[in-house]
Amino acid sequence: MKQLNNILAESPDAKIQVVCHEPGIALIRQDVSVVQDKISKLMERGVNFTACENTLKGRKISKEKIMEKATFTKAGIIEIVDKQTKGWAYIKAGN
């Protein structure tokens, strides 16, 4: 969350998409996320949080458990590669 806020502080009009997959899906799960308030504030500032449907399927998580304003993509890796081919930069954060 800190890095996202730092980016927005320096570049408030930056387009940011966070693709959540595998263990990272917990960030946007309504039932387990400990950072929902921070994510909601980032969403209000235009940051898009996207859930990988392959992760949801593999972990047997229903879409209803994902934060309301999140978006979905069939495969997180394809979303990332697609954005890179369109000139977006990829930054991996976390472990």
Q: What is the CATH number of the domain that holds 31?
A: 3.40.1260.10
Q: Name the residue among 91, 75, 77 with its Cα closest to residue 4.
A: 91
Total count of domains within the chain: 1
**Does 93 map to a domain?**
no
Residues of the chain with pLDDT under 70: 94-95
pLDDT at 93: 75
pLDDT at 46: 96
**Four-point Cα dihedral 15, 82, 93, 12, nearest 10:** -10
Read off the pTM.
Answer: 0.92
pLDDT at 17: 97
Residue pointed to by tokens 């408030």: 12
Domain extent, residue 64, equals: 2-85
**Does 95 map to a domain?**
no
